[in-house]
Amino acid sequence: MRKYLKFVLLLLLTILIIWFFGRNVDWNEVKHSLQKANAFYLALAVLSTCIGYWFRAKRWQVLLSPITESSMKELFATTTVGFAAIFFVGRMGEIVRPMWLPMRDRRVRPSAALVTLGVERILDFASLICFFSLNLIWFTPPPGKEADFEYFETVGWIIFAVIFGSIGLLILYSKVSQSIITWTEQITVKFPSKIRRITLSLLKQLAAALKILSSPRASFSAIFWTIALWFSIALPTWLVLKAFNLPLSITDALFIMGFAAFSSVIPTPGGAAGAFHTATAGSLIFLGIGREESVATAIVMHLVYFSPAVFFGLYYFLHGDLSLSKFKEMLFDSESELEKTLEQDLSKETEQFLENQEKNLKFDFSTSE
């Protein structure tokens, strides 16, 4: 019931943001801008986005490789189904990916899928911050707006320092995670059981996620595919700008991509609908583009980012063996057997995975001596 209520509230929030986004806009001018868009550049942008989803699936395969073998076809299908779910119901659709993959590929356990998605988040967040901060450092402001961008370079260096400090803390945590988890277990004995369970679960998931990247080879592969993924996101952003013949550079595209990506954190249905459009159009207006052209560009950019996932996701969903009622249960029934199984499986297998990784690391160290 709570998830239904949450979905309704987020839907109302989406409507409110879309109203704010669309007010005081001349929609005839927006329509005119849409009609002028270059179809060739838009087609290239959609193709690049499709490749980006393949890169995302390939990275997932790399992250799963220390734990189990996996099918690239099923990983791509699961990735697109998951992002289609996010488009239709918002961030609560994220639960689909770790549940869908084990149904399609029996070699992958729910715990492995969920832990590796945790690594994805770490990599994506770190990459996005690095791209955005470096772009701020080297950003060239539009003529006449130098004063508005006066502190951009300083902010970029601060963000860059913070992300590298955070990476350092994660590396430190990966080395002493077992001690921290044990200490947390001891000091949270008198905490409410739910808070204690969630805290310990998060610490164990983070530790397991970081252990996956303990191998230099695995880390290099994951970072390589992450960089490829974010370039495949930056490229369609720039191509959409080219489609509307906007006088903006690739660094401007990275600036806009950063705002668009951060806005997607807002868990509204429709793939952060409203929030994405407002942030993207706002960044374009900030760069000197007219309101109606900015609105048209934001609408098309949102479709370019999500339409391939919706197309492929619906295809794989309709050709899969999961009923609509079971899919609905994944999203809205917080007490479903699927989620109970996932939680139990995660707790058991995360601990086993951590123990195996510790043994492997000790074995590697002893043999090297």
**Is residue 77 in some structural domain?**
yes
Tell me the C-alpha distance between 63 and 120, whole Å: 8
Q: In this predicted model, what pLDDT tens digit does every residue of 59-113 receive, in sequence order? A: 999 888 877 888 999 999 999 998 998 888 877 777 788 888 888 888 888 777 8
pLDDT at 242: 95
In-domain check, residue 367: no
Lowest mean pLDDT among 22-26, 116-120, 294-298, 323-327: 323-327
Handedness of CA 157, 163, 164, 165 (dihedral sign): positive
Burial class (CB in 10 A: 0-12, 13-18, 19+), 183: exposed
Q: How confident is the model at residue 146 (pLDDT cuts 50, 70, 90)?
A: low
CA distance 325 to 318: 13
| Cα torsion angle, 238, 240, 243, 247, sign | negative
Predicted confidence (pLDDT) per residue in 38-61, tens digit? 999 999 999 999 999 999 999 999
Indicate the number of domains in the chain. Answer: 1
pLDDT at position 298 is 93
Whether 364 maps to a domain, the answer reads no
309 band by pLDDT with thresholds 50, 70 and 90: very high
159: in domain:
yes
**295 domain residue, yes or no:** yes
Give 336's pLDDT tier (boundaries 50, 70, 90). Answer: very low
How many CB atoms within 10 Å of residue 223? 16
Whole-angstrom distance, CA of residue 94 vs CA of residue 124: 15
Q: Pick the residue with more confidence: 339 or 256?
A: 256
pLDDT at 72: 94
Among 290, 228, 280, CA closest to 53: 228
Minimum mean pLDDT range among 6-10, 124-128, 198-202, 305-309: 6-10
Beta-carbon contacts of 348 under 8 Å, excluding residues fewer than 6 positions away, are 111
Determine if residue 319 is left, alpha or beta; phi over 0 gives left, psi from -120 to 50 gives alpha, anything else beta: alpha
Residues 6+ apart with CB under 8 A from 325: none
pLDDT digits (tens, 9 = 90+) for 208-255: 777 777 777 878 888 899 999 999 999 999 999 999 999 988 888 888
Q: How confident is the model at residue 355 (pLDDT cuts 50, 70, 90)?
A: low
Q: How far apart are CA 357 and CA 3, in angstroms?
A: 36
Q: What is the pTM of this model?
A: 0.78
Nearest to 296, CA basis, from 254, 247, 240, 357: 240
257, part of any domain = yes
Residue 200 has pLDDT above 60, yes or no: yes
Domain presence at residue 35: yes
Query: Which pLDDT score, from 0 to 100, does residue 144 have?
Result: 66
In sequence order, what are the residues at sequence separation of 6 or more whose Cβ sits closer than 8 angstroms to the Cβ of residue 225? 55, 58, 59, 62
What's the CA dihedral at 282, 283, 285, 287 to 10 degrees? 170
pLDDT value of residue 335? 41
Tell me what the pLDDT averaged over the chain comes to. 80
Q: How far apart are CA 66 and CA 59, in angstroms?
A: 12
Show the domain range for 28.
2-358
Q: Which residue has the higher pLDDT, 302 or 135?
A: 302
Q: At what angle do helices 96-104 and 337-368 cross, to 10 degrees?
A: 80
